[in-house]
């Protein structure tokens, strides 16, 4: 007789013991370890992001307090001397005597050069307007030749030659410097040769004068550096107050709010030396003998206290003049606006005066902005034709080279007599 299958039985045998519990029968130590490590890692990341990534200025402020305190101690150890005391010292008098003797030795030759340069300036003043006007007309005529039909080119070329050969009467000062003039009739080629020759001669004379005065200038620089290094512009009491302020340094955001201009500026959170009462240079923020690093250059004073008095940072902020993102504090790149999402990056050092032109575009001469004023001089005195000569340029670099040459000529022509 066949046995009944197990599935057909009415009664089934119960398993021995309880069924396995997935929670109690398996170890969870691995899962708990992974979770604990993830939580620990996220905590470490959050703390790092809070202290360093999101607030790098905390480290900058700690470094500034340490460096500033070291600089104040160095000032205190050096002592406090007035400018009058330093000028009366034997070391300063010796440097001053050496500088004066070196200048007196070459002064007769320098005076001769200066007199000749003065005559050249008079000649240039007499010839410049005629030269520039004639060159402008020839430039226009050459442009018409290049853009005219073939039938008209011959006629227009004759017009150009007539402009070049047409003579102008110029009252040219005499070489003896007496102030008397002699009238000369010159065509454009002769005027151009005379103009370029005078410019070249003046450049050579100024270079010669500079070489003659170089030893005296170096001695004067050495004397002035000695005066600067030994004069203390601050009192002992002021140093003590600053040391107390540094000891109890207030770490936190430095923010300027100007509601009238919708300005929120935090630049001084990192640039902490901008408005300090004593002048701070990059070398002051470093130990002796060490070259300034990036932070030392960021901690310096504003180069012009007079500008800060006229443009109070509490009313203007910093970014309104210098551009950059005055609100950003998480990275240097964002604070300076040097990324693709910011339309107004910080001006480069050599172009810093470009910010002045935002409000002073109509000012012919702007005190405190010599480069901007020189650029306006170049445009007003030479115009566009001064850079783009009538012969034309084959490459952009030719125009740039000509512009640099004109800037150098303008600088030479406006250099004060030694």
Residue 324 pLDDT: 93
pLDDT-based confidence at residue 410 (cuts at 50, 70, 90): low
Q: Mention every residue, 6+ apart, whose C-beta is less than 8 A from residue 103.
A: 213, 216, 220
Same domain, 208 and 338: no
Domain membership of residue 126 (yes or no) is yes
**190 and 210 fall within a common domain:** yes
Whether residue 149 sits in one domain with residue 185: yes
Is the separation of the CB atoms in 226 and 92 below 8 Å?
yes
| DSSP 8-state class, residue 252 | S
Classify residue 155: in a domain, yes or no.
Answer: yes
408: pLDDT confidence band, cut at 50, 70 and 90? low
Q: Are residues 274 and 201 in the same domain?
A: no
Asked if 89 and 171 sit in the same domain, the reply is yes
Identify the helix (H) or strand (E) that includes residue 265: strand 263-265
Confidence at residue 292, expressed as pLDDT on a 0 to 100 scale: 93
Specify whether 156 is located in the same domain as 256. Answer: no
* Measured distance between the N- and C-terminal CA atoms of the chain, rounded to whole angstroms: 136
Residue 412's pLDDT is what? Answer: 61
Which of 326, 346, 366 terminates a domain? The answer is 346
Same domain, 127 and 221: yes
Most confident of 2-11, 79-88, 140-149, 280-289: 280-289
Q: Which domain holds residue 329?
A: 33-80+235-346
pLDDT at residue 350, as a whole number: 85
In a domain, 12, yes or no: no
- Residue 397 falls within a domain, yes or no? no
Residue 225 sits in the same domain as residue 168: yes
Which helix (H) or strand (E) segment holds residue 239: the answer is helix 236-247
Residue range 263-291: average pLDDT?
A: 91
DSSP state of 180: -
What mean pLDDT value characterizes the chain? 83
- Which range of 267-281, 353-367, 403-417 scores highest in mean pLDDT? It is 267-281
Judgement on whether residues 265 and 136 belong to the same structural domain of the protein: no
- Say if residues 264 and 325 touch (Cβ distance below 8 Å): no
Q: In the prediction, which pLDDT does 16 show? A: 65
Q: Give dist(CA 300, CA 408) in Å, integer.
A: 31
In tens, the pLDDT along 148-164 reads 887 788 888 888 888 88
Give the pLDDT score at 154: 82
pLDDT reported for residue 406: 56
Of the candidates 289, 311, 346, which is a domain's last residue? 346
Are residues 277 and 235 in contact, defined by beta-carbon separation less than 8 angstroms?
Answer: no
The most confident of the ranges 178-192, 224-238, 381-395 is 178-192
pLDDT, tens digit, 9 for 90 and up, residues 88-118 = 889 999 999 999 999 999 999 999 999 999 9
Check residue 98 and give its pLDDT. 93
User: Is it the case that residue 391 has pLDDT exceeding 90?
Assistant: no
Instruction: Say how far apart CA 128 and CA 194 lie, in whole Å.
Output: 10
**Same domain for 224 and 105?**
yes
> In this predicted model, which residue has the larger pLDDT, 413 or 172?
172
Q: How many other C-beta atoms can be found within 10 angstroms of the C-beta atom of residue 24?
A: 8
Q: What is the pLDDT of residue 215?
A: 92
| Segment 349-361 mean pLDDT | 88
Residue 409 pLDDT: 58
> Is 382 inside any structural domain?
no
Whether the predicted pLDDT of 71 surpasses 90:
yes
User: Quick one: pLDDT band at residue 186, thresholds 50, 70, 90?
Assistant: confident
Where a domain ends, among 231, 265, 300? 231
Instruction: Determine, yes or no, domain membership for 405.
Output: no
**Helical segments of 147-174, H only:** 150-165
pLDDT at 388 exceeding the cut of 70: no
Q: Does residue 398 lie in a domain region?
A: no
Are the CB atoms for 408 and 108 separated by under 8 Å? no
**Count of alpha carbons within 13 angstroms of residue 79, beta-carbon side:** 6
Q: How confident is the model at residue 166 (pLDDT cuts 50, 70, 90)?
A: confident
Question: Same domain, yes or no, for 224 and 95?
Answer: yes
84 or 233: whose pLDDT is higher? 84
More confident residue, 180 or 274: 274
Say if residue 207 is in the same domain as residue 110: yes
Q: Could you report the per-residue pLDDT of 357-366, keeping only the tens digit for each?
A: 888 888 888 8
Any domain includes 369: no
Q: What is the model's pLDDT at position 23?
A: 67
Domain count along the chain: 2
Of the pLDDT bands very low, low, confident and very high (cuts 50, 70, 90), residue 28 is confident
pLDDT at 400: 46
Pick the more confident residue, 15 or 264: 264
């Amino acid at each position: 007789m066949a046995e009944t299958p197990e599935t057909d039985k009415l009664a089934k045998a119960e398993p021995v013991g309880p069924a396995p519990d997935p929670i109690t029968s398996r170890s969870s130590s691995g899962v708990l370890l992974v979770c604990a490590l993830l939580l620990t890692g996220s905590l470490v990341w959050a703390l790092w992001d809070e202290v360093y990534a999101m607030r790098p200025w905390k480290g900058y402020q700690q470094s500034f307090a340490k460096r500033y305190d070291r600089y104040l101690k160095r000032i205190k150890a050096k002592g406090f001397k007035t400018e009058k005391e330093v000028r009366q010292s034997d070391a300063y008098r010796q440097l001053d005597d050496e500088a004066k003797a070196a200048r007196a030795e070459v002064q007769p030759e320098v005076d001769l050069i200066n007199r000749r340069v003065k005559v050249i300036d008079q000649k240039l003043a007499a010839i410049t307007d005629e030269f520039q006007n004639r060159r402008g007309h020839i430039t226009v005529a050459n442009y018409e030749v290049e853009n005219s039909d073939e039938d008209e080119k011959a006629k227009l070329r004759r017009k150009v030659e007539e402009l070049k050969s047409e003579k102008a009467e110029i009252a040219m000062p005499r070489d003896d410097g007496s102030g008397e003039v002699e009238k000369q009739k010159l065509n454009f080629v002769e005027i151009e040769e005379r103009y370029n020759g005078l410019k070249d001669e003046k450049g050579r004379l100024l270079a010669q004068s500079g070489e003659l005065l170089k030893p005296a200038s170096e001695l004067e620089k050495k004397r002035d550096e000695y005066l600067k290094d030994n004069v203390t512009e601050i009192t002992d009491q002021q140093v003590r107050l600053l040391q107390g302020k540094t000891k109890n340094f207030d770490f936190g955001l430095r923010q300027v709010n100007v509601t009238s201009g919708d300005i929120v500026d935090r630049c001084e959170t990192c640039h902490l030396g901008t408005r300090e009462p004593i002048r701070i240079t990059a070398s002051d923020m470093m130990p002796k003998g060490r070259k300034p690093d990036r932070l030392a250059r960021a901690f310096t004073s504003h180069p012009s206290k007079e500008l800060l008095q006229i443009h109070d940072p509490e009313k203007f902020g910093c970014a309104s003049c210098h551009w950059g993102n005055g609100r950003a504090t998480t990275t240097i790149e964002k604070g300076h606006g040097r990324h693709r999402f910011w339309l107004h990056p910080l001006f480069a050092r050599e172009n810093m005066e470009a910010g002045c032109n935002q409000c002073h575009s109509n000012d012919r001469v702007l005190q405190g902005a010599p480069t901007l004023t020189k650029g306006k001089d170049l445009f007003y005195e030479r115009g566009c034709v001064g850079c783009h000569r009538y012969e034309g340029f084959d490459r952009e670099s030719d125009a740039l080279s000509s512009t640099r040459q004109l800037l150098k000529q303008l600088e030479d022509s406006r250099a004060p007599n030694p």
